[in-house]
């Protein structure tokens, strides 16, 4: 799902999704330093501002560069009024996600900073994208502060192009720096605060490892941090802090938390993110993000909840309002029923509701659809019944509540006190005990007495079982052309028209292909004539595929093969041991669950009837 965290992160690995600076395992090489002499050392510190895709990973690399004193994530290239994550994510502000590097020129030169930039930080041949993140906000850019920086940058790009250091021409833009605006606090030190988050594991930690391996003379093991720089009172001379409403402020219900917010799509994926352009950021399992704490240990206020008038309908309840919730502790759970990350979180949300409803807890599931078929009320009603959801569900088919909360992820939990203030949040799977502690604290503040004992683990079964993140090496992958990655059928896609596709003789890990007559549109691939196949080379315990039977809802028979043979004991809950199954409704289908050691396999699904609609793979 898009940032279901996995979307995103991600590569949700399971559904992110919001930033990515290149695919995992992206080639890196220690390039020669600039031939043009770097600036001579001066007294004090200097700054460099660079953009190379999602700022999480770029910041994480430069925090390990010797001679660097501080690295801030932020925005450059646009106006103060749009220097905030929500605006920049639209891709139309002129801003690029950037980092400001404060460094000692006596210890590290500007040329060496650029050497690291081109060697391990990003792919400078990608135009307006890095990995799954697409848009001008993810462009490769060097923002020069003076003429000396401009000359070094332009000469170095010419030097690398002349040496054919990359298979394609460098598209990095060299732009004059007007102002740099620091990003929201939750973006700072994100990689360091969330090293287990799937997006970070899949996209960004490999860059740090490449830096240590390829450029040991420049690498330092102990990173500098924004938090330490602030504690020490160090300033960032080139930073121009935005006013309220700008990048330094979080408005209304938009969470202002330590830790992080958005990105999708890392293997296994703990969450999905909905950033424009298909970008995804995910705050994921283990990297669960809660609001910062005040001195007393109580969750801090992040803003009042918005009105709920944007809901297009309600299940399990009459319409609820902000006023009617006054005096209640509320958890808002943003989910969508084809998101694997959401399905793995539902058992915990169900357990919270059953355990604490008599103590005053209200849970509202906000169903914000990713795919068009998830706007169908009857589809949602069936999912609510299937997963045993008895708390109120607001149908958010127009994404009005999603926008009102400034949300970006599936799943996302917002914790609200009895006065209607958001007091904490968590994006993605994981950290359930921590979330429960927040619920208990808010109930106690509201006057609840004799709370029941804390819950034991509430992990689900079947498709809702927790992901095996240690063994997930495959990202969430979409089968519509708008967000597709690693598609390897010869000739690529013919958009919005039928075409007969072929499957190549061999696929590498995480590559996929179509076989047969398919029509590929923005969010899905539709089989026009049977038989038809989809082949994916993956590594994960679980493989899921979001499928639908087509507009006439006629059942579609299929069979699954694993390395050309029936899956037998490794079959998922939606097929039998011989791989046979039927698509009868629009939902996520669990097709593979490896019972033994998790290994790399070639997955094949062959559809025996036409008109099946295939949306996305997720893994766990």
Catalytic residues: 54
Rounded distance between C-alpha atoms, residue 289 and residue 256, angstroms? 10
Residue spans of alpha helices (H) in 54-109: 55-62, 85-88
Rounded distance between C-alpha atoms, residue 454 and residue 355, angstroms? 9
Phi, psi of 277 (to 5 degrees): 80, 5
Rounded distance between C-alpha atoms, residue 422 and residue 389, angstroms? 23
Helix (H, G, I), strand (E, B), or coil: what is residue 380? helix
Rounded distance between C-alpha atoms, residue 187 and residue 74, angstroms? 8
Residue 44, number of CB atoms within 10 A of its CB: 8
Rounded distance between C-alpha atoms, residue 616 and residue 39, angstroms? 49
Q: Find the helix packing angle between 205-214 and 55-62, rounded to 10°.
A: 30
Rounded distance between C-alpha atoms, residue 219 and residue 234, angstroms? 22
Rounded distance between C-alpha atoms, residue 328 and residue 310, angstroms? 21
C-alpha 445: how far from chain center: 33
131: left (phi over 0), alpha (psi -120 to 50) or beta: left
Residue 204, number of CB atoms within 10 A of its CB: 30
| Bridge-based pairing state of the strands 313-315 and 303-304 | unpaired
The DSSP code for 545 is E
Q: What burial letters (b/e) apply to 482-519, b meaning 16+ CB within 10 Å?
A: ebbbbbbbeeebeeeeebebebeeebeebbbbbbbbbb
Q: What burial letters (b/e) apply to 105-127, b meaning 16+ CB within 10 Å?
A: beebbbbbbbbbbbbbbbbbebe
Element (H, E) at 198: helix 198-199
Half-sphere exposure of 563 (CA within 13 A, CB side): 8
Closest CA to 263 of 369, 133, 447, 137: 133
Rounded distance between C-alpha atoms, residue 314 and residue 568, angstroms? 42
Return the HEC string of 218-281: CECCCCCCHHHHHHCCCCCCCECCCCCCCCCCCCCCCCCCCCCCCEECCCCCCCEECCHHHCCE
The DSSP code for 86 is H
Q: Is 574 exposed, middle or buried (0-12, 13-18, 19+ CB in 10 A)?
A: buried
Cα dist from 360 to 206, 323, 327, 415, whole Å: 46, 16, 9, 13
């Amino acid at each position: 799902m898009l940032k279901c965290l996995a979307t995103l992160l991600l590569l949700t690995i399971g559904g992110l999704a919001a930033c990515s600076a290149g695919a995992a395992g992206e080639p890196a090489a220690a390039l020669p330093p600039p031939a043009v002499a770097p600036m001579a050392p001066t007294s004090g510190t200097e700054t460099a501002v660079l953009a190379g895709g999602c700022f999480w990973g770029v910041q994480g690399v430069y925090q390990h560069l010797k001679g660097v004193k501080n690295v801030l994530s932020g925005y450059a290239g646009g106006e103060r009024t749009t220097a905030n994550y929500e605006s920049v994510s639209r891709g139309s502000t002129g801003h690029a996600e950037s980092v400001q590097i404060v460094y000692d020129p006596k210890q590290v030169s500007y040329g060496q900073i650029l050497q690291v930039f081109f060697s391990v930080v990003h792919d400078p041949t990608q135009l307006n994208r890095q990995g799954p993140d697409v848009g001008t906000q993810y462009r490769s850019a060097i923002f020069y502060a003076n003429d000396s920086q401009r000359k070094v940058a332009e000469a170095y790009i010419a030097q690398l192009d002349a040496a054919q250091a990359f298979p394609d021409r460098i598209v990095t833009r060299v732009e004059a720096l007007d102002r740099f605006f620091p990003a929201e606090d939750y973006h700072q030190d994100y990689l360091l605060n969330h090293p287990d988050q799937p997006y970070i594991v899949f996209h960004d930690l490999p860059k740090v490892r490449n830096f240590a391996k390829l450029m040991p003379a420049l690498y330092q093991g102990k990173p500098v941090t924004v938090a330490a720089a602030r504690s020490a009172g160090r300033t960032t001379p080139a930073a121009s802090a935005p006013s309220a409403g700008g990048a330094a402020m979080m408005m209304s219900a938009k969470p202002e938390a330590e830790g992080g917010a958005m990105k999708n799509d890392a293997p296994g994926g703990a969450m999905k993110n909905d950033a424009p352009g298909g970008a995804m950021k995910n705050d994921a399992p283990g990297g669960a993000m809660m609001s910062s704490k005040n001195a007393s240990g109580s969750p801090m206020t992040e803003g009042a909840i918005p009105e709920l008038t944007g809901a297009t309908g309600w299940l399990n309840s009459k319409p609820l309002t902000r006023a009617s919730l006054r005096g209640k502790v509320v958890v808002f759970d943003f989910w969508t029923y084809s998101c694997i990350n959401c399905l793995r979180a539902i058992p915990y949300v169900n357990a919270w509701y059953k355990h604490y409803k008599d103590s005053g807890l209200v849970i509202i599931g906000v169903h914000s659809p990713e795919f068009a078929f998830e706007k169908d009320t009857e589809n949602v009603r069936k999912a609510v019944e299937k997963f045993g959801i008895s708390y109120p569900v607001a149908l958010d088919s127009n994404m009005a509540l999603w926008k009102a909360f400034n949300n970006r992820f599936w799943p996302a939990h917002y914790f609200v006190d009895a006065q209607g203030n958001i007091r904490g949040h968590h994006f993605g799977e994981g950290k359930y005990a921590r979330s429960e502690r927040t619920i208990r604290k808010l109930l106690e503040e509201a006057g609840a007495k004799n709370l029941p004992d804390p819950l034991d683990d509430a992990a689900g079964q079947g498709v809702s079982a927790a992901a095996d993140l240690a063994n997930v090496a495959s990202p969430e992958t979409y089968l519509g052309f708008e967000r597709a990655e690693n598609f390897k059928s010869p000739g690529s896609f013919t958009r919005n028209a039928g075409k007969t596709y072929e499957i190549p003789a061999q696929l590498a890990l995480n590559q996929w292909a179509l076989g047969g007559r398919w029509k590929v549109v923005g969010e899905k691939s539709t089989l026009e004539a049977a038989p038809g196949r989809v082949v994916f080379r993956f590594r994960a315990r679980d493989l899921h595929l979001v499928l639908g039977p087509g507009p006439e809802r006629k059942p579609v028979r299929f069979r699954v093969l694993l390395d050309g043979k029936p899956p037998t004991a490794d079959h998922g809950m939606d097929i039998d041991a011989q791989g046979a199954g039927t698509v009868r409704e629009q939902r996520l289908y669990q097709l593979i669950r490896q019972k033994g050691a998790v290994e790399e396999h070639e997955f094949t699904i062959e559809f025996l009837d036409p008109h099946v609609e295939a949306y996305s793979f997720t893994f766990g």
